[in-house]
Amino acid sequence: MVVLSVLRAQLGMPPRRYLDLLRVLTERYVKVRYRGSFLGVYWSLLNPCIMTAIYTLILGHTFARYYNNSIVDYLESCFVGLVVINFFSTSTGHALPSVVSNSGLLNKIKLPPSLFPMSLMSASTFQLAVGVFPVLAIITLVTSKSLLNVLLLVVPVFALVLVSCGTALIVSMLYVFFRDIPYMYELLTFAFWVATPVFYPISIVDERYRFYLQLNPLTPIIQCIRELTLSARLPNLEIMAQGLLMGIFVALFGWFAFRNRSALFMDYL
Partner 1 sequence: MLRKELDPLVIPTNGSPAPKREALVRPSICLRGVTLLRRTQEELTYDLKRNLFALVEGRYRRPASKPVLRNINLEVPPGEKVGVIGANGAGKSTLLKMICGILRPSKGTVEVRGSIAPLIELGAGFDPELSVFDNVILYGILLGSSKASMLERAPGILAFAELESYASMPVKTLSSGMTARLGFAIASDVDPDVLILDEVLSIGDEHFRNKCRRRLEHFWHKDATIITVSHDLAFIRESCTRVVCMEEGRLAFEGPTAAAIRFYLDTVSEADSLHRGE
156 to 150, 227, 243: CA distances (angstroms): 11, 11, 7
Least Å distance, CB 3 to partner 1, is: 23
Least Å distance, CB 264 to partner 1, is: 7
Least Å distance, CB 218 to partner 1, is: 24
* Under rule CB under 8 A, residue 43 binds partner 1: no
* Under rule CB under 8 A, residue 106 binds partner 1: yes
Instruction: Tell me the window of 46-54, 173-181, 192-200, 243-251 that interacts with partner 1 (CB under 8 A).
Output: 173-181
| Rounded Cα–Cα distance for residues 202 and 150 (Å) | 24
- C-alpha closest to that of 126 among 22, 222, 17: 22
Q: What is the CA radius of gyration of the chain?
A: 19
Q: What is the dihedral of CA 92, 19, 150, 52, to 10 degrees?
A: -20
Q: Which is nearer to partner 1, 210 or 261 (CB)?
A: 261
Q: Using the CB atoms, write b or e for 29-58: b if 16+ within 10 Å.
A: bbeebbeeeeeebeebbeebeebbeebbee
Element (H, E) at 154: helix 154-177
Applying CB under 8 A, which of residues 184, 191, 204, 237 lies at the interface with partner 1? Answer: 184
Are 264 and 173 within 8 A, CB to CB?
A: no
H-assigned helices in 35-114:
40-43, 46-63, 71-95, 98-101, 103-108
* Under rule CB under 8 A, residue 109 binds partner 1: yes
Convert residues 66-105 into a mask of x (bound to partner 1 by CB under 8 A) and - (unbound): --------------------------------------xx
Convert residues 5-34 into a mask of x (bound to partner 1 by CB under 8 A) and - (unbound): ---------------xx-xxx--x--xx--
Q: Which residues contact 226 (CB under 8 A, 6 or more apart)?
A: 77, 80, 81
First to last CA, the chain: 35
Least Å distance, CB 79 to partner 1, is: 32
Applying CB under 8 A, which of residues 2, 46, 69, 107 lies at the interface with partner 1? Answer: 107
Least Å distance, CB 27 to partner 1, is: 8
Q: Which is nearer to partner 1, 106 or 224 (CB)?
A: 106
Q: In 10 A of CB 259, how many CB atoms?
A: 17
* Under rule CB under 8 A, residue 208 binds partner 1: no
Least Å distance, CB 78 to partner 1, is: 34
Q: Which is nearer to partner 1, 111 or 129 (CB)?
A: 111
**How many residues at the interface with partner 1, by CB under 8 A?**
29
Q: How many residues does the chain have?
A: 269
Residues numbered 217 to 256 that lie near partner 1 (CB under 8 A) are none
Binding site for partner 1 (CB under 8 A): 20-21, 23-25, 28, 31-32, 35, 104-111, 174, 177-181, 184, 263-264, 266-268
